[in-house]
C-alpha cells in the first residue's frame, strides 16, 4: 500500500501548487466566461425565437401564371403546410375566375385536351413552383364527342364533380380544409383569360419551436459554466478523496456469491410455505436457530426440577430441544433428518458441525437434569407455571 502523495518533495509541491493555480485561473478566467456567454447567447436566441423571430403562423406563397386558361395544383400541394388553406386567384381582368377543389382524376378529366399550368409545390416559403403542361392528346376530344353529342358542356362552375367551387368577377377566393391527399385545386380563368396571380395562404396550427431547444442548450451551458468555475477549477487532489492505492484484494472466500445467496434465501423461504402440522408459532430468530426448517428453540426452564423458583416459560415457543431429548435420547442428533445440508452450509451462521455439537451437549444436559421434562406443548407448561404461581 502506498499513498498518492507519499513521496512529495518540497519542490514538487511548489510546482504542483503553481500548476493548480494556473489551472484554476484558466478555468475560472477563460472557460467559465465562455460558457457563460454562450449560455446567455443561447437563452437570448431562445427568447428571440419565441418572440420577434417566431415563425409566422400564416404562410403565403404565390405564383404568377401566364399562357394558360387552367391552373391546377399537383396532389398534396393543398395540404403542404397545413390542412387549412385559402386559395386566391386574381385574373387581373374582368372575366369570371373560378376555383374548384376536386379529386385529381376529375380535374384531369376536365383538363383533357386543354393546356394548363401545374403548381408543383413550394420553391421557397413565398413562391409556388409552376410547370407548364401541354394539351393532352386528342383522345379526350374524341371522348367528349363520343358522349352525348347534342349536349353542350356544362359551365365550369356548374360541374357536379367539384367538392366545392367559388367564382368571382376578376378574382376569387376559396377555403379548403383537410382535403384528401389526392384532392387538387383547379383554377379556371375563363374564356380568353390566360394570366393570373395565384396565392395560397396556409394557417399553421402548430409552429416549429426553436426556442425550447435553445433554452435547453442555455441551461446546459449554465451548468457547464458553474462546473468549470467550481469543481473543474479545483486541483484534482482537492476535489478527490484521498485514494489509498493498494494491490487488488482477491475476493474474500467467505463472501457469498449472488447465486448462492439467492438459493440460500430461497431455501429459507421455502419451508415457511409448508403446511404447519401444529398451529403453533415458530421462532425464527431464536438463539441458535438455523434459517432452515428445523428450528430448535430453547426454553428457559431455570431450575424447574427444584420447584422452588418460578418457571419462566415462553408460551409462544415449543421446546423442540426437549422433544428431541425425550424422543431420541441415545442418539438425538443423528436421528434428526438434515434437510439439504449443502444449502445450509451456505447460509447458516453456525456451521453444521457446531450445531451438531451443540445439540449433543444440550441433549445430554437435558437428559441428565430432567428425564420428565414436559414434552407437552408450551400451553400446558404455561398453565402449570401459572398454577404454580397461584399456589405461591
Partner 1 sequence: MRNTRNMMTRFGRTATKALAIALSAGLLVSLAACEGQVPKVASPDSSTHAPDLTVKQEERIRTKILDTLAASDKAVSADGLAARVTGPELEIRTSQLAVAKATGSLDKLATIPRGMTQTVIPTDDGWPRTVYTITTTTEDQQSKRLLVFTQDSPRQNYKLWGLARLFQGAELPKFEVPKLGTEMGTANDAKLVATPAKAVEMYADLLNKDAQSEYNAKFKDDLLRQELRTLDQTVQQGMEANKGTQQQTFTVPKDQLKVMRSTDGGDLVVARIDSVWTRQAGEGRESLPANNNEKALFGNGKATSTMKVTYVNVIALYIPPAGGSGDAAKITAVGAERYAVKVEAL
DSSP state of 305: T
Choosing from 70, 116, 200, 232, the residue that interacts with partner 1 (CB under 8 A) is 232
What sign does the CA torsion over 72, 76, 81, 85 have? positive
Pick one of 11, 160, 254, 392: the residue that binds partner 1 (CB under 8 A).
160
Check: CB of residue 288 under 8 Å from CB of residue 362: no
What is the spatial order of strands in the sheet that 183-188 belongs to?
164-169, 96-103, 183-188, 70-73, 116-124, 127-133, 58-66, 195-203, 85-90, 171-176
Distance CA 316, CA 312 (A): 12
154: contact with partner 1 by CB under 8 A: yes
> Which 107-136 residues touch partner 1, going by CB under 8 A?
109-110, 112, 120-125
Cβ neighbours around 189 below 10 Å, total:
25
Stretch that binds partner 1, among 175-183, 246-254, 321-329, 382-390 (CB under 8 A): 175-183
Question: Which residue's entry shows cell 363520343?
Answer: 146
Nearer to partner 1, 185 or 221 (CB): 221
Minimum CB distance to partner 1, residue 244 (Å)? 14
Cβ closest to partner 1, residue 208 vs residue 279:
208
As measured in angstroms, the least distance from the Cβ of 42 to partner 1 is: 6
Phi, psi (5° rounding) for residue 9?
-95, 160
| Nearest one of 334, 305, 67 to 189, comparing CA atoms | 67
41-70 positions binding partner 1, by CB under 8 A:
41-42, 45, 49, 53, 55-56, 59
By three-state DSSP, how is residue 59 classified?
strand
> Nearest distance from residue 192's CB to partner 1, in Å?
18
CA distances from residue 43 to 40, 50, 211 in whole angstroms, order as listed: 5, 10, 8
Looking at beta carbons only, is 218 or 373 nearer to partner 1?
Answer: 218
Taking alpha carbons only, the member of 335, 325, 336, 337 closest to residue 362 is 325
| Binds partner 1 by CB under 8 A, chosen from 11, 151, 255, 392 | 151
Cβ-based nearer residue to partner 1, 27 or 185: 27
Kindly report the number of other CB atoms within 10 A of residue 26's CB atom. Answer: 14
- How far apart CA 366 and CA 370 sit, in angstroms, is 6
Q: Is 36 in the site for partner 1 (CB under 8 A)?
A: no
Nearer of residues 163 and 175 to partner 1, judged by Cβ: 163
Nearest to 77 by CA among 195, 196, 183, 199: 183
Kindly state the number of chain residues that form the binding site for partner 1, as judged by CB under 8 A.
Answer: 65
Nearer to partner 1, 109 or 288 (CB): 109
Q: Which is nearer to partner 1, 162 or 359 (CB)?
A: 162
Which x/- pattern, by CB under 8 A, does the window 178-217 give for partner 1? --xxx-------------------------x-x--xx--x
Instruction: Let me know if 293 is exposed, middle or buried by CB neighbors in 10 A (0-12, 13-18, 19+).
Output: middle
- DSSP at 310: P
Query: Using an 8 Å Cβ cutoff, are 369 and 359 in contact?
Result: no
Cβ atoms 383, 391 nearer than 8 A: no
Q: Which of residues 81-100 bind partner 1 (CB under 8 A)?
A: 81
Residue 105 as a binder of partner 1 (CB under 8 A): the answer is yes
Q: How far is the CB of 358 from partner 1 (least distance, A)?
A: 54
Q: Of 16-24, 185-193, 298-306, 368-376, which segment contacts partner 1 by CB under 8 A?
A: 16-24
237 binds partner 1 (CB under 8 A): yes
What residue has cell string 384528401? Answer: 180
What is the binding site for partner 1 (CB under 8 A)? 4, 12, 16, 19, 23, 27, 31, 34-35, 38, 41-42, 45, 49, 53, 55-56, 59, 74-77, 80-81, 103-106, 109-110, 112, 120-125, 143-144, 146-148, 151, 153-154, 158-161, 163, 180-182, 208, 210, 213-214, 217, 220-221, 224, 228, 232, 236-237
Amino acid at each position: 500500500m502506498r499513498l498518492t502523495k507519499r513521496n512529495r518533495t518540497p519542490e514538487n509541491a511548489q510546482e504542483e501548487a503553481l500548476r493548480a493555480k494556473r489551472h484554476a485561473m484558466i478555468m475560472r478566467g477563460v472557460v467559465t466566461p465562455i460558457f457563460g456567454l454562450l449560455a446567455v447567447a443561447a437563452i437570448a436566441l431562445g427568447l428571440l425565437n419565441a418572440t420577434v423571430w417566431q415563425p409566422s403562423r400564416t404562410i403565403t406563397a404565390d405564383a404568377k401564371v401566364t399562357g394558360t386558361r387552367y391552373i391546377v395544383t399537383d396532389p398534396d400541394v393543398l395540404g403542404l403546410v397545413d390542412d387549412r388553406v385559402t386559395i386566391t386567384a386574381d385574373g387581373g381582368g374582368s372575366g369570371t375566375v373560378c376555383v374548384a377543389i376536386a379529386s385529381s382524376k376529375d380535374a384531369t378529366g376536365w383538363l383533357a385536351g386543354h393546356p394548363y399550368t401545374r403548381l408543383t409545390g413550394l420553391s421557397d416559403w413565398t413562391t409556388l413552383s409552376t410547370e407548364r403542361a401541354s394539351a393532352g392528346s386528342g383522345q379526350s376530344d374524341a371522348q367528349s364527342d363520343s358522349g352525348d353529342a347534342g349536349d353542350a358542356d356544362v359551365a365550369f362552375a356548374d360541374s357536379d364533380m367539384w367538392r366545392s367551387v367559388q367564382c368571382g368577377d376578376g378574382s376569387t377566393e376559396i377555403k379548403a380544409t383537410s382535403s384528401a391527399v389526392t384532392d387538387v385545386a383547379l383554377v379556371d380563368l375563363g374564356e380568353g383569360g390566360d394570366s393570373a396571380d395565384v396565392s395560397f395562404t396556409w394557417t399553421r396550427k402548430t409552429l416549429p419551436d426553436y426556442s425550447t431547444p435553445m433554452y435547453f442548450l442555455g441551461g446546459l451551458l449554465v451548468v457547464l459554466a458553474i462546473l468549470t468555475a467550481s469543481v473543474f477549477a479545483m486541483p484534482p487532489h482537492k476535489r478527490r478523496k484521498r485514494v489509498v492505492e493498494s494491490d487488488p484484494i482477491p475476493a474474500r472466500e467467505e463472501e457469498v456469491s449472488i447465486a448462492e445467496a439467492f438459493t440460500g434465501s430461497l431455501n429459507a423461504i421455502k419451508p415457511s410455505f409448508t403446511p404447519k402440522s401444529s398451529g403453533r408459532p415458530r421462532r425464527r430468530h431464536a438463539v441458535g436457530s438455523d434459517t432452515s426448517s428445523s428450528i430448535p428453540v430453547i426454553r428457559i426452564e431455570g431450575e424447574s426440577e427444584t420447584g422452588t423458583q418460578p418457571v419462566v416459560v415462553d408460551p409462544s415457543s415449543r421446546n423442540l430441544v426437549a422433544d428431541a431429548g425425550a424422543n431420541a435420547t441415545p442418539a438425538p442428533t443423528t436421528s434428526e433428518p438434515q434437510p439439504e445440508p449443502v444449502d445450509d452450509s451456505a447460509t447458516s451462521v453456525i456451521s453444521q458441525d457446531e450445531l451438531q455439537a451443540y445439540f449433543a451437549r444440550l441433549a445430554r444436559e437435558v437428559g441428565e437434569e430432567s428425564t420428565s421434562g414436559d414434552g407437552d406443548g408450551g400451553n400446558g407448561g404455561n398453565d402449570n407455571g401459572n398454577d404454580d404461581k397461584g399456589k405461591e
